[in-house]
């Protein structure tokens, strides 16, 4: 199996998508809403905090070019894993951090990764680790948002990655 999928929530999905689009081995990224309580939510509904969705990036990758561990290492380089429901200036449950797997193997791998990460710090890591419950593509204007709006807000410093 060469191509795999993982879902990462790391605050505003615009920057997370732009960051991973610059990485080798990434086949496709899609922003959307995951782990919520209603089907096909709108951005406006998610922003109310009442749907329980989190802004999430679906990452399809070639594991011969980039491993799940490398993806998690990259992910942890752009998030603050100790902040609950917040990344950068973004606050709310839709900005919580999480890793959502589509199979038990990846879920267990992530669990061990998080346990090892937690051992290296006294601060509590608040990154969710769950099997993916649901994922709904975000509206088209959110897809590749920072490509369409180069001066758009981003909590991640992308200056080293811009082409």
Catalytic residue among 6, 8, 9, 12: 12
Non-local CB neighbours of 33 within 8 Å, separated by 6+ positions: 41, 46, 51, 53, 54, 55, 56, 94, 135, 136, 138
Contact indicator for 74, 156 with CB cutoff of 8 Å:
no
Work out the burial of residue 70: count CB atoms within 10 Å of its CB; fewer than 13 is exposed, 13-18 middle, 19 or more buried. Answer: middle
Pair 47, 91: CB distance under 8 Å:
no
Residue 47 bears catalytic tag = no
Alpha-carbon distance of 53 to 9, in angstroms, equals 10
Catalytic residues: 12
């Amino acid at each position: 199996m060469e191509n795999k999928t993982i879902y990462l929530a790391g605050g505003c999905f615009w920057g997370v998508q732009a960051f991973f689009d610059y990485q080798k081995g990434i086949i496709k990224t899609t922003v959307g809403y995951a782990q919520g309580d209603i089907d096909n939510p709108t951005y406006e509904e998610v922003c109310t905090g009442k749907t329980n969705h989190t802004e999430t990036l679906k990452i399809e990758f070639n594991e011969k070019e980039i491993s799940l561990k490398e993806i998690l290492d990259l992910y942890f380089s752009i998030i603050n894993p100790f902040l609950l429901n917040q990344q950068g200036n973004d606050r709310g449950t839709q900005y919580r951090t999480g890793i959502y797997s589509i199979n038990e193997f990846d879920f267990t791998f992530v669990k061990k990764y998080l346990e090892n990460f937690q051992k290296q710090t006294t601060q509590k890591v608040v990154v969710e680790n769950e099997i993916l419950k649901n994922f709904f593509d975000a509206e088209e204007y959110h897809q590749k948002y920072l490509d369409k709006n180069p001066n758009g807000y981003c909590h991640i410093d992308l200056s080293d990655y811009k082409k």
